[in-house]
Amino acid sequence: MKSESEARIAIVGSGYMGGGMAQVFALAGHTCVIADADSAIAERSFARLISEAETFEKQGLFPVGSVEKISKNLSFAQSIEEASASADYIAEVVPEIIEIKEVVLSTISSAARVDAIIASNTSAIPIAQLSAFVTNPARFLGVHWMNPAPFVPGVEVIATPSTSEDIVQYVERLIGGVGKVTSRVSDIAGFIANRLQFALYKEAVTMFEEGSATPAEVDSVVSNTFGFRLALFGPFAIADMAGLDVYVGAYKSLAKAYGERFAAPTSLVEKTSAGDFGLKTGGGFAGLDGSKSAEIAAYRNRAYAALSQLKKELGPPPGFPA
């Protein structure tokens, strides 16, 4: 196996996500080949990715020289077998339909070297379930990129009990090496990002269905209030900074209105009952250093002010209410 910085990449499924991932790998200097259901689609995707890269370079979103670099490193294959045969790392990025994933993962498995790494970009299917479609599952894992792949930093890395630890570490170095921030997450449906994202979306649609809020109201409130904070801190850090006692109080009112599903979580109640109110008492869930409270608050204020300024400069997305 080549060192991760020299890994040859194959992307199977050159659509929205696979295309973006291919641009990232090629831009970072990896040889990257895309394959699709047939060679005509792969060829069209190749042309689209180059033309998109031209736009991104003109817009200053990709550095100068990116198009040349991507054109040099990126190619398209005639078949999945051809792309897989010479790759060290193969990403499966086909539609979220298990029957398609089964066929594609089996095809990749039989064509790839026995030690080539195979990664699925599934959004929500447990990786252990897909693992059954792969030969030598020690080299199989989930590597879940976010949309749009070139510009969102986070990538979830999901091992199964069969995945080799060496492979996981190799992949973390590979994905970190192309500029992404990896997080190892459990092999649960939706992983971390989509389990949370879809819980939030469901509650938002429920508010819409009951007539409590319009989509525009929800979107405006979320993106300007707690969603704004989420760009810098996760829910645990935010709760610790706000005060866990405040959260328990809020859950009481919410549970009264919406029932048991909004009851305060047991571990939250236990913490507050023991006098742990988060950062202000030097505790909480996120492991923040209580002695750094003032520095954390100063960082938070600086970060929020900068983000507010950025939002003003960018203005609302086209067609969105101001």
CB–CB of 99/130 below 8 Å? Answer: no
Three-state SS at 91: strand
Q: Give the span between the Cα atoms of 20 and 76, in whole angstroms.
A: 14
Cβ at position 230, least distance to ligand NAD in Å: 18
Phi, psi of 283 (to 5 degrees): -130, -135
If the CB atoms of residues 84 and 272 are measured against ligand NAD, the closer one turns out to be 84
Return the residues of window 133-162 that contact ligand NAD according to CB under 6 A: 145-147
Alpha helices in 160-273 (DSSP H): 165-177, 193-209, 215-224, 226-230, 235-242, 244-258, 266-273
Residue 193 binds ligand NAD (CB under 6 A)? no
Cα dihedral 283, 286, 290, 293 in deg (nearest 10): -130
Residue 37 binds ligand NAD (CB under 6 A)? yes
Structure-token pair, residue 13? 């499924």
Q: Which of 28, 85, 100, 138 binds ligand NAD (CB under 6 A)?
A: 100
List CB contacts of 272: < 8 A, sequence separation 6 or more. 244, 245, 248
Residue 16 binds ligand NAD (CB under 6 A)? yes
Q: Which stretch binds ligand NAD (CB under 6 A): 11-19, 22-30, 201-209, 230-238?
A: 11-19
Cβ at position 187, least distance to ligand NAD in Å: 15
Structure-token pair, residue 135? 């030969």
Q: Which of 22, 53, 67, 93 binds ligand NAD (CB under 6 A)?
A: 93
Q: Which of 12, 27, 116, 264 binds ligand NAD (CB under 6 A)?
A: 12
CB–CB of 98/125 below 8 Å? Answer: yes
Cβ at position 301, least distance to ligand NAD in Å: 33
If the CB atoms of residues 17 and 175 are measured against ligand NAD, the closer one turns out to be 17
If the CB atoms of residues 13 and 137 are measured against ligand NAD, the closer one turns out to be 13
Q: Which of 23, 31, 84, 123 binds ligand NAD (CB under 6 A)?
A: 123
